[in-house]
Amino acid sequence: MKYLITLLIMAAAITASAAEKPKAAADTGKWIDRISVAPVGVIKTEHLDGPSQWGAGFDIGAAVNPFVSIHVANLSFEGPGETTGRAIKDGKKTKGTATTGEDSFGGLLVDETDVQIDAKISRFSNETFSLHLVSGGQYDWNDEDYGINAGLRLELALNKHISASGGYSIRTWLKGQTRVDSLLSAQINVQF
C-alpha cells in the first residue's frame, strides 16, 4: 500500500512538471500556482532531548497561492541508535562507520509520510529570505502510528526557481501512549 502511494505521488509530480504552464495561471482558473520538488535530510530526536537518528527523503509541494502551499514528504530513517563507530568485516575492525540493526535502511522504503501546510508569514530583503509556519500530520508505516505537528521553516531564495530551506517541527504521536519528538530538516527546493 505504501509503495503504491509513493508511486502515485511521484507520477503526479512528473505529470504536473511535464505539463506546459500557461502564462497567466490565475486567469485559467487553476488552483495550483506552482509545483516544487526537494530532496530532504532530517534528524529525528525522541522526546525532544533523547536519542537521535538521521534520515533522508523526498518532498513534493503544490502552491495554491503565493503564500500557501501543500507538501507531501516521504522519509526513511537510519534506525534508533544503530550507528557504530567502526565497521566490523570478517571479525576485524575497519575504518569508517557501519549501520547495524533490523531497521537500518534495510527495512521499508518509506518509514514516514508527512503532509504539511506551509504558510509564508513574513518576507524580508525583497523576498529573498522568508519565514514560514508549517503544520500538518504524519504517519509512521513501521509502527502504524499517526500524529500532528507544527513548526517553523526558514527559506533563502537562490534564484527564481531554486531555494534552500531548513525547518524545525515538534510532533505528537497519538496512537496508544502519546509521545513527542522533533524533526530538524534541511532541503533544496526546485520550483516549476
The residue-averaged pLDDT of 62-66 equals 91
Q: Is residue 125 predicted with pLDDT exceeding 60?
A: no
Q: Which of 155, 168, 160, 167 is nearest to 190 (CA)?
A: 160
The residue-averaged pLDDT of 13-26 equals 46
Give the integer Cα–Cα distance in Å for 129 and 124: 5
The residue-averaged pLDDT of 28-49 equals 87
Go through the domains of the chain in sequence order and give each one's CATH number.
Answer: 2-191 (2.40.160.20)
The residue-averaged pLDDT of 101-121 equals 81
Give Cα separations from 82 to 51, 75, 99, 104, 134 (angstroms): 11, 17, 6, 7, 30
- For residue 143, what are the contacts with CB-CB under 8 A and spacing of at least 6? 175
Task: Please give the model's pTM, rounded to 2 decimal places.
Answer: 0.73
Q: Is residue 135 predicted with pLDDT exceeding 60?
A: yes
In three-state secondary structure terms, 148 is strand
The residue-averaged pLDDT of 83-105 equals 51
Phi and psi at 125, nearest 5°, equal 50, 60
Q: Please tell me which residue, 150 or 78, carries the higher pLDDT value.
A: 150
What pLDDT does 26 receive?
43
- Most confidently predicted of 28-37, 76-85, 176-185: 176-185
Q: Which residues on neighbouring strands pair with residue 113, listed in sequence order?
A: 74, 139
Give the integer Cα–Cα distance in Å for 179 and 80: 15
Residue 55 CB coordination number (10 Å): 19
Lowest mean pLDDT among 25-29, 79-83, 187-191: 25-29
What is the CA 186 to chain-centroid distance, rounded? 8
Residue 39 CB coordination number (10 Å): 13
Lowest mean pLDDT among 3-7, 34-38, 129-133: 3-7
